[in-house]
A and B are shown apart, each in its own frame.
Chain A
């Protein structure tokens, strides 16, 4: 690489950095503002929105926690964990069946499962509400578990399938010589080999389930089953004049996924890139 820079090159670099860092400020400042506002009082907030809080008391965070955020958080954790397990296993089984087992109608079944990628949740909203009311599952944890699983199986299967299809044939043959049945081969050999893509799909599903709003809003209304995205809007409508408490609740909802992204960045990026470009 040529590293000598002319005068114009230096100016260009300067502008480049000013732009890139300016954009970083535009992204980070509102988020920082949100966290800081969680430490303020309403009076401070109205007095000067830019000022730092007078004291670093966790009072608002405690209030938000007690006014429902702890329940919303528990509901979110429960729905996220269970739907992640259900989605990843159902998808991994399907991917295994479609790529490593000689099953009839393979092409058709692949098309049916991956075809679900093209369908959007909004379209089916009216019949789904009626169906869940009929099943007596409306306003229950089960509604979200089932819907998050059903609508994410196509994407998750797509990712795992693309990975499994590239594993060498010899793996299955070796497993058969060892006398391992299909079931053992899947759990002992194939699934461990797919660890990187499983990690990606788990992280992407967690991001999805933690943040999902449409189903959560339409299918739940009691505070014991509401997840964080919907719970925050309830917090807002119930305590809308106590702005700092709402800010604290938002920060509590945001922190886990931001941490998750920073620790799982590599896998999340890989999953997203494969999901769109493969």
Chain B
């Protein structure tokens, strides 16, 4: 028994860093969300669920939540279904060298940081030097040129569009791996039966990457609720809070408005959302193992 316990030494470093810096703050966060708390004066007061009540009365909280939902829906369309279709299209290119080259090019934006991508698109959307307005001008669509990030009606969607540009190659790459794992006999059999490319996609590819599609959907939705970097870099949540998401609103509440109780409450909301998605993901992975 003593020898067995000695084996614990292998996992103790991991348990300690996780326990102290991941699990402990998570538990503390629940406590903090029941306090009003001024970090500079150090005053704390227990207020029960008051922070949550204030949060749910806050219109910016709900518009942030709605922005996260938009993020999730649009990302699922482009980065799950769009990427799946794109991966299948790339796979239909005959030369493998070209397939690899295309996938690598599409992935480049995912390798550079969201900060660089966000700043780059800040300039792409910029009204004076920005590529987008100049391209619209060049193709005769000048009337559509506008200050994309400077007005409430377009700012959020401009940020989300940047995120699609940045992320679709990553998903395409993962779907390509899933498609390549499909036994080639299935495609050969379908080709012998005279099944066309479009039907092959629906009858062979789609059913066999179903699990991957499910996982990617959940990873994408979970990611959509953790958005922070690109919004901070491109708009800081403005104009007029129209691009706030839960992550940036948490930051602003806690570190700009000095309202740590609200920030902790938003943290709890994010925790519930992401944990639910992670549980669903775990469930899908488990089921997959049983099926195979």
Contact = CB atoms under 8 A, between A and B. Distances in A.
Interface in B135-182: 138, 165, 169-170, 173-174, 177-178
Nearest to A21: B102
A123 B216 contact: no
A272 B22 contact: no
Nearest to A2: B191
Contacts of B279: 118
Interface in B1-38: 4-5, 7-11, 13-15, 17-18, 20-26, 28-29, 32
B203 interface: no
Contact of A253 (B113, B121, B229, B271): B113
Contacts of B215: 276-277
A207 B111 CA distance: 7
Q: Which secondary structure characterizes the binding site on chain B? A: helix
Interface string B246-257: 110011001100
A60 to B, nearest CB: 14
A148 to B, nearest CB: 10
B113 A257 contact: yes
B17 A124 contact: no
Interface in A180-203: 182
A20 interface: yes
B239 interface: no
A139 interface: no
A90 B112 contact: no
Contacts of B23: 116, 119
Nearest to A45: B129
Contacts of A232: 115-116, 119
Residue from A33, A124, A217, A272 with most neighbouring chain B CB atoms (10 Å) = A124
A94 interface: yes
A177 interface: no
Given A31-B108, A232-B115, A250-B116, A123 B89 contact: no
Given A103-B11, A109-B15, A122 B116 contact: no
A272 B174 contact: yes
A50 B134 contact: yes
Q: Which of A157, A210, A214 has the most CB of B within 10 A?
A: A214
A24 interface: yes
Contacts of A153: 14, 17-18
B52 interface: no
B7 A30 contact: no
Contacts of B222: 120
A207 B170 CA distance: 13
Nearest to A259: B111
Contacts of B18: 112-113, 116, 150, 153-154
B174 A254 contact: no
Nearest to B28: A127
A20 B89 contact: yes
A23 B112 contact: no
Interface stretch (A62-70, A166-174, A261-269): A261-269
Contacts of A243: 123, 129
A253 B111 CA distance: 11
A146 B113 contact: no
Nearest to A3: B94
B111, B211, B264: which has the most chain A beta carbons within 10 Å? Answer: B111
Interface centre among A31, A49, A123, A246, by most B CB within 10 Å? Answer: A123
A120 B111 contact: no
Interface in A22-58: 23-24, 26-31, 33-34, 37, 45-46, 49-50
A123 B177 contact: no
A101 B10 contact: yes
A71 to B, nearest CB: 16
B76 interface: no
Contact of B113 (A91, A93, A210): A210
B128 A93 contact: no
A140 interface: no
Contacts of B109: 27, 31
A102 B138 CA distance: 68
18 contacts: A16-B92, A27-B106, A30-B165, A49-B134, A50-B134, A90-B17, A109-B15, A112-B18, A116-B23, A123-B274, A124-B28, A127-B26, A233-B233, A243-B123, A246-B119, A253-B113, A272-B170, A277-B177
Interface of A: 1-2, 16, 19-20, 23-24, 26-31, 33-34, 37, 45-46, 49-50, 90-91, 93-94, 96-98, 101-104, 109, 112-113, 116-120, 122-131, 146-147, 149-151, 153-154, 157, 182, 207, 210-211, 213-214, 217-218, 228-230, 232-233, 236, 243, 246-247, 250, 253-254, 257-258, 260-262, 265, 269, 272-273, 276-277
Given A90-B14, A113-B18, 11 more contacts: A23-B86, A33-B131, A103-B11, A120-B222, A120-B271, A127-B32, A129-B255, A151-B21, A243-B129, A253-B112, A258-B111
